[in-house]
Amino acid sequence: MKRWSVSVLVAAILAVGLVAQAGAAVIEVEGDAYVGIYDKYLWRGWDLSGSLPVVQGGADISTHGWTLSYWSNWQLKTDEADGFKSGEVTETDIIISYAHDFGDMLSVSVGNIWYQLDGLQDTNEVFVGGTVNTLLAPTLTMYWDWDACDEDGLFFTFDVSHSFELMEKLTLNLGALVSYNLHSDYAVSAERDYSGFHNYELSVGLDYAINDQFTLSPSFVYSSGITDGAKDNIDTETLAGVSLTFAF
C-alpha cells in the first residue's frame, strides 16, 4: 500500500474515533489504538521480515458486536536479499467482523480480512470462530482464502489460553495454538502445496496497566512446524516484542 494511502487511512480511523467519542452518549462505541516493536514479523510460522525488526500498529472500533480494524507492518531494517526495505509499509490489513454470544457458554465471530501487501497480490480471507467460555477458553477458527488461493484455501487454528493476575495491575498471559493447512497456498509455492498440520505456537506475555487507558505488554512466542509439508515451508522461529495499547 502506498504511504499516502496509509496516512489517509490512519487519519480516517482517528477521525472516526473522535466522532465516536463525541457521539458516545447516542451510540455505545469502544475501541483501542496500539503500537509495538518486534524482532521480526511472524505470521503462521512464516518469517515475513527477513528476521529483522518491525513496528506494528493498528486500531479497533467496536459497536453492537461489529468491529472495524486496521493493522500495518513497518520494516525497520533493509534486507536486500528478500526485498525488504527500511521504512516501508510491507502489509496493511483491513478487518470487519461481527461477534455474538449464544448463551453464557459459546461466543461466535465471523468476518473478512483484506490483506494488502507490498510486492505481492492482495487477497481476502473470510473467517469464522467459536470460543467455549470455560477453562482455557478453547477456540476453533476456520479461515477461507476466497480470493488469491488456487485450491481450497482453508486454514484452521485451535488455541487455548489463560490469564493469571500476579498482582494489582500486572497480568500473566499463557497460550498454546496448533494449526492445520488444507491447501491454503497463498504463502506456499506451487511445488510445496500440501495438506496437513502446519505449526504449533507457545506464547507468554505480561500486561501492565499503567492506568485505566494505557497498557504495556511485553510478549514472547515460540513457533515450529509439525509435519514434513510444513517444515518444507517454515522454520522454527521465536518472536519477542513489546506493545503499548490505548483503550477508549
Residues 185-233 pLDDT 10s = 988 876 788 999 999 999 999 999 999 999 999 999 999 999 999 999 9
More confident residue, 113 or 151: 113
pLDDT band at 241 (very low <50, low <70, confident <90, very high): very high
Residues paired with residue 204 on neighbouring β-strands, in sequence order: 174, 220
- What is the CB neighbour count within 10 angstroms for residue 40? 17
pTM for the full predicted model = 0.87
pLDDT (0 to 100) of residue 4: 45
pLDDT (0 to 100) of residue 1: 40
Note the pLDDT tens digit of each residue in 17-42.
555 555 545 678 999 999 999 999 99
pLDDT (0 to 100) of residue 3: 44
Residues paired with residue 179 on neighbouring β-strands, in sequence order: 157
Q: How far, in Å, CA of 78 to CA of 84, rounded?
A: 5
Q: How far, in Å, CA of 218 to CA of 161, rounded?
A: 16
Q: Smallest Cα–Cα separation from 20: which of 31, 33, 8?
A: 31
Q: Smallest Cα–Cα separation from 76: which of 66, 86, 67?
A: 86
Mean pLDDT score across all residues of the chain: 91
pLDDT (0 to 100) of residue 191: 76
Domain of residue 91, residue span: 3-247
**Strand pairing category for 123-132 and 106-117:** antiparallel
pLDDT (0 to 100) of residue 26: 64
More confident residue, 8 or 26: 26
More confident residue, 4 or 101: 101
State yes or no: pLDDT of 140 exceeds 60: yes
Instruction: Please tell me the total count of domains within the chain.
Output: 1
Phi and psi, residue 231, nearest 5°? -70, -20
Phi and psi, residue 159, nearest 5°? -140, 155
State yes or no: pLDDT of 134 exceeds 70: yes
State yes or no: pLDDT of 136 exceeds 50: yes
User: Domain with 133 in it: what CATH number?
Assistant: 2.40.160.40
pLDDT (0 to 100) of residue 184: 93
